[in-house]
Amino acid sequence: MNQAYRVYVYVVELGGFSKAANALYMTQPAVSQYIKALENEIGTSLLDRGHKHITMTKAGKIVYEHAKEILHHHETMHHLIHDLYNEPKGEIAIGASYTFGEYVLPNVMARLRNQYPLIQPTIHISNTLEIAKQVDQLHLDIGIVEGEVEANGIQVEHLAKDVMYIVAAKHHPLADLERIDSIALEDATWITREVGSGTREATDKLFEQLNIHPANRMEFGSTQVIKESVEAGLGLSLLSKWAIRKELEWGLLMTLPVEQGFVERSFSILLRKKLQQTRSTMALKQLLQEYVLEEV
């Protein structure tokens, strides 16, 4: 029955019988037979077959979610059995939010490559909400994010403390001031991340604790673009210490002397609850923990 579930998941995610057949190296009639057999076994229709699009019925949505879990458990079972007698190996899907993914994860991946050369990582970088969603839906084996995550199916483990500071270019008008008041901060241009980002969540928290409501804002979807924009003098931003270490050392950015002008938050590891993790996932988790302890 696992093959029927696999075929069904492919049909749903690829949006058609022919595309699923090509991906599975099967004939289209064979795909249709698997779907029909699954519908007969379930006792109801799972797909509405329109002229151009295939959509899931209510029952089909239930079967899809559980089929994903069944297939994931089946794959994990084989990994775990292999792990009993062999070195960790195989594919691992890793998700990370932008700050961690762009400025911390590459160093951890280098260690993973050196210590466990048989592990084959794939990395997906997105905002915190999207990474949490992908872990919950079993598209990712592990996630590393900043900010708050609330999801019933996800286990959240603290990884490291992060401190975020208000930063500006050396030539910004506020850079020469010994004391910066709330009026100057409110009148300044701010460069922020998009809604759903942990960095944006922290920025909104900063505005609240400073009791300011800046009207001039620019919103970008990447921390790297924000850093370069701040360096160019376009405005202020709130950025993680992990993201600005080189720029502070090289004198490209500076932190502003603002009372309460920082936000503390945590980086967290996300894993799916009630799921036994493979040795590859646990090996990566250990490397993450070791790295942040060394760098704090």
Residue 77 and residue 93 share a domain: no
Residue 47 and residue 166 share a domain: no
Residue 161 and residue 17 share a domain: no
Last residue of a domain, one of 82, 113, 132: 82
Residue 21 and residue 110 share a domain: no
Residue 183 and residue 71 share a domain: no
Taking the C-alpha atoms of residue 185 and residue 56, their distance in angstroms, rounded to an integer, is: 51
Residue 286 and residue 237 share a domain: yes
Structure tokens at 284: 């990566």
Contact 198, 265 (CB under 8 A): yes
Structure tokens at 27: 């004939």
Find the domain containing 261 and state its range.
88-296
Helix (H) and strand (E) counts in the chain:
12, 11
Q: How many CA atoms lie within 13 A of 99 on its CB side?
A: 26
For residue 156, the SS3 value is strand
* 215, amino acid identity: A
Secondary structure element (H or E) that encloses residue 78, with its range: helix 58-85
Give the pLDDT of the chain (296 residues) as one tens digit per residue: 578 888 888 888 888 888 888 888 888 888 888 888 888 888 888 888 766 678 888 888 888 888 887 777 777 776 667 666 667 778 899 999 988 999 999 999 999 999 889 899 999 999 888 999 889 888 899 999 987 787 778 889 999 989 999 999 999 999 888 889 889 999 999 999 988 888 899 999 999 999 999 999 999 988 899 999 999 999 999 999 999 999 999 999 999 989 888 999 889 999 988 667 788 888 899 999 999 888 76
Residue 291 and residue 174 share a domain: yes
Contact 163, 185 (CB under 8 A): no
The CATH number of the domain holding residue 45 is: 1.10.10.10
Residue 231 and residue 160 share a domain: yes
Residue 94 and residue 59 share a domain: no
Residue 256 and residue 214 share a domain: yes
Q: What pTM, to 2 d.p., does this model score?
A: 0.68
Structure tokens at 117: 């050369």
Rg (CA), the chain: 24
pLDDT of residue 280: 86
In terms of C-beta density within 10 A (0-12 exposed, 13-18 middle, 19 or more buried), how is residue 41 classed? Answer: exposed
pLDDT of residue 82: 65
Residue 165 and residue 46 share a domain: no
Last residue of a domain, one of 82, 106, 122: 82
pLDDT of residue 56: 87
Structure tokens at 110: 């280098």
Cα distances (angstroms) measured from residue 107 to each of 26, 38, 101, 241, 292: 41, 45, 10, 16, 10
* Structural domains of the chain, count: 2
The CATH number of the domain holding residue 172 is: 3.40.190.290
Last residue of a domain, one of 20, 54, 82: 82
For residue 40, the SS3 value is helix
Residue 10 and residue 100 share a domain: no
